[in-house]
Amino acid sequence: MTRHDESARSRNDAVLAEHRAIREILRRMRTATARDDLGARLAEFCTAARDHFDGEEAEGGFYDSVLAQAPRHQAVIDALRDEHGSLLRDAERLRLEVSAAAETDLARLCAVAGGLADRLEEHEATENEILLEVMNQDLGAGD
Ligand SMILES: [Fe+2]
């Protein structure tokens, strides 16, 4: 295995590990039992998602490496990048809404947070699919 392969593999492993960590944050967000709790979990989500998205979009990061190997994914990667922006905007808006809301609004706010979690899970599932496809392609090339 070349050094390039090793660094690609450790980056791919890191992406998958971050996806698992984010799923855990989403699980906690879905099960908040009080407004303060939901606010804290949303804040945690915003920070983790921003860091994770920045890493994926960074020069030489996950998206660049996918495109270097499989330029046919350009349109999907462009859509995923756009989605990063809209997910972060919506999460931040919801976090502010939660901090100003009444405790009695909890059920509605949790439903909105659940919808956001669904969107992020779908987003990450698309990324995982692309990642696995590119990794398999790599193995198939058998150098
Ligand atoms: Fe991701």
- State pLDDT tens for residues 26-59: 999 888 999 999 999 999 999 999 999 999 999 9
Q: How far apart are the CA of 14 and the centre of ligand 1, in A?
A: 10
If DSSP codes are grouped into helix, strand and coil, which group holds residue 23? helix
Residue 91: what pLDDT? 96
Token pair for 30: 């879905």
pTM of the model: 0.87
Q: How far apart are the CA of 52 and the centre of ligand 1, in A?
A: 6
Residues 87-121 as b/e (b if ≥16 CB within 10 A, e otherwise) read beeebbebbeebeebeeeebeebbebbeebbeebe
Residue 53: what pLDDT? 96
Residue 80: what pLDDT? 97
Token pair for 84: 């990063």
Q: How many CB atoms lie within 10 A of CB 19?
A: 18
Phi, psi of 59 (to 5 degrees): -60, 130
Q: How far apart are the CA of 15 and the centre of ligand 1, in A?
A: 7
Residue 1: what pLDDT? 56
Residue 4: what pLDDT? 64
Q: How far apart are the CA of 38 and the centre of ligand 1, in A?
A: 22
Q: How far apart are the CA of 61 and the centre of ligand 1, in A?
A: 11
Question: What's the Cα-to-Cα distance from 56 to each of 31, 39, 47, 61, 72, rounded to whole Å?
Answer: 27, 26, 14, 5, 18
Q: Which of the residues in the chain have pLDDT under 50? A: none
* Distant-in-sequence, close-in-space partners of 87: CB < 8 Å, separation ≥ 6: 49, 53, 116, 119, 120, 123
Residue 141: what pLDDT? 65
Nearest by Cα to 73 from 25, 123, 134: 134
